[in-house]
Amino acid sequence: MLTLPDTAVAVLGTGVCLPDQVVGNDTVAGPAGVTAEWVARKTGIRTRRWAKPDQATSDLAVAAGRAALEDAGVRAGELSLVLVATSTPDSPQPPTASLVADELGVRPGTVAFDLNAVCSGFVFALATAARLLRGPALVIGADVYSRILDPTERRTAVLFGDGAGAMVLGPGEPSLLAARLATFPEAHPLIRVPAGGSRIPASADSIDAGLHYFAMEGRAVRDFVLDTVAPGIRDFLRDAGVRAEGLAAFVPHQANPNLVADLAAAVGVSAGRTAVSGAEVGNTGAASVPIALHHARAGLRPGDLVLLAGFGGGMSAGFALLRWPGPGRSTNASR
């Protein structure tokens, strides 16, 4: 179903936080039993960023949130909502959003909670925030995947990086035109972290078995993207009355640059209008869509149509159509 916001929702600002540590393919290839050339050829990824040992997801989220608030000209005390999309929270409890809200200095009573739709999380959070909007809202996608990777597993260890991206929403000239969220639960085994929850609690045995590592069926995930996500995007655009060639920018989840190129071709969007940030920062989970959007926005003009497309564990997919705001709504704050 095509969902339209209840009220006019404007994009007021964006921001990102990428850790300082740049990790090349040589670093990840050896433990995974492959070569740097193999990683680049198979994925299109050249580098990724890893958080410092003392950095957690909330630290990256706070930095991205501050950058977005500065960009928007909004004070933390004005926020009505802080929503953090992540599948790598600081800890099972409390919500990472509570830590972020506290560090930013929001007013007591401000709503703050986490949302987990894995790599679809930011688009799910964006659509959710639009429904709850009563004043300025801060939506953040943040993940630190480097902490849950098996360095010997080539299907996952070479793909992921850490980062956070944020967006401030508020009442105003409509930027969010439509959204669609979908889950395909029969495919949930394709992406998983088996242990650490109530099914398989943390124990010495679960750790020894490597059950706390991220696991993914790479080929099946690729099939899901091309066989399910691509047609879903085409249907979404049709129902929104937009042709693929009418998009100024297509901003998909950065699973890897090779898959992004195949998805864009299946949707009918040219390479020149497809945002690709994964070559430099890798797959940053729920942060990948806002990070890719932040990198792409320098080439956007007021009124341009932008399509966001998240997809990931669950399996889930989320699409959002934006009309890019005019001057004074989104400038160039970053970190």
Give me the active site residues, please: 119, 253, 283
Which class for 180: exposed (0-12), middle (13-18), buried (19 or more C-beta within 10 A)?
A: buried
Handedness of CA 88, 89, 90, 93 (dihedral sign): negative
**Within 10 Å of residue 101's Cβ, how many Cβ atoms?**
26
Separation between Cα atoms, residue 250 and residue 264, nearest integer Å: 8
Six-digit token string for 292: 């890719």
Q: What DSSP string describes 106-144?
A: PPTT-EEEEE--GGGHHHHHHHHHHHH-SS-EEEEEEEE
CB 104 within 8 A of CB 66: yes
Closest CA to 183 of 111, 231, 239, 117: 117
The sign of the dihedral angle between the CA atoms of 156, 159, 163, 166 is negative
Contact indicator for 42, 76 with CB cutoff of 8 Å:
no
**Residue 197 CB partners (closer than 8 Å, separation 6+):** 92
Residue 37 CA to residue 288 CA, distance in Å, equals 23
Cα 333 to Cα 165, 172, 276, 327, distances in angstroms: 11, 20, 19, 14
Spatial separation of the C-alpha atoms in residues 193 and 286, rounded to whole Å:
16
